[in-house]
């Protein structure tokens, strides 16, 4: 009898943990309710700084091992403290799809050599600045171009990109309607 060793990690993704999580959330869907929090403080001008540390998931309050901090600013009105909030959205989109590609490849046993992408968002700032009320304030168009080098066929790579996009929470947030409430604390 021949035994086939199944790797416990593919492309840095712990596959046993991945499949175990899927099974557990299938059996106990109440554990799938997650909540993420960012706390933001104004710095100066158009700059602000967000800290991310606590979150809720798997039925309990959690914390990241580290406290993550991000500073955002605007290029023409700001003081150069960091990327624009819009650039963080672009980063979030491509990071989320990339994670989906990596986990999708790991689940299929496909070895990745590299995954790179360029994400571009086009925005007409006349809407943001109140110059023209008919101009959208957000991105008018976003394009993400992926280059995936993997031990896979072109069709398999296309399927990985499509799956990474289909199951991306950030893609869904940008393309679907997400209720957002802005209130005074």
pLDDT of residue 99: 96
Asked if 86 contacts 121 with a C-beta cutoff of 8 angstroms, the reply is yes
**Whether residue 7 has pLDDT greater than 80:** no
pLDDT at residue 20 tops 90: no
Supply the pLDDT for residue 3: 42
Is the pLDDT confidence value at 95 over 50?
yes
Provide CATH code, domain 84-176: 3.30.300.20
Q: What is the pTM of this model?
A: 0.88
* Ranges assigned E (strand) in the chain: 9-10, 13-14, 35-36, 39-44, 47-57, 60-72, 112-122, 141-150
Alpha helices in 74-153 (DSSP H): 85-108
The answer on pLDDT for 1 being more than 70 is no
The per-residue pLDDT for 66 is 93
3-class secondary-structure state, position 143? strand
Q: How far apart are CA 109 and CA 107, in angstroms?
A: 6
Domain boundaries, the chain: 84-176
């Amino acid at each position: 009898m021949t035994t086939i060793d199944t790797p416990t990690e593919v492309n840095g993704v712990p596959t046993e943990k991945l499949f175990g999580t899927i099974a557990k959330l299938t059996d106990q869907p109440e554990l799938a309710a997650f909540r993420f929090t960012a706390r933001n403080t104004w710095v100066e001008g158009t700059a602000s700084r967000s800290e991310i540390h606590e979150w809720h998931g798997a039925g309990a309050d959690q914390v990241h091992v580290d406290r993550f901090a991000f500073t955002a600013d605007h290029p023409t009105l700001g003081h150069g403290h960091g990327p624009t909030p819009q650039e963080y959205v672009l980063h979030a989109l491509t990071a989320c799809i990339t994670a989906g590609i990596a986990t999708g490849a790991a689940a299929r046993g496909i070895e990745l050599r590299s995954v790179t992408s360029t994400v571009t968002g086009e925005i007409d700032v006349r809407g943001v600045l109140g110059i023209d009320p008919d101009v959208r304030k957000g991105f008018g168009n976003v394009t993400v171009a992926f280059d995936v080098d993997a031990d896979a066929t072109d069709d398999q790579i296309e399927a990985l990109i499509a799956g990474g996009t289909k199951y991306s929470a950030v893609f869904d947030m940008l393309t679907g309607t997400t209720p957002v409430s802005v209130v005074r604390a």
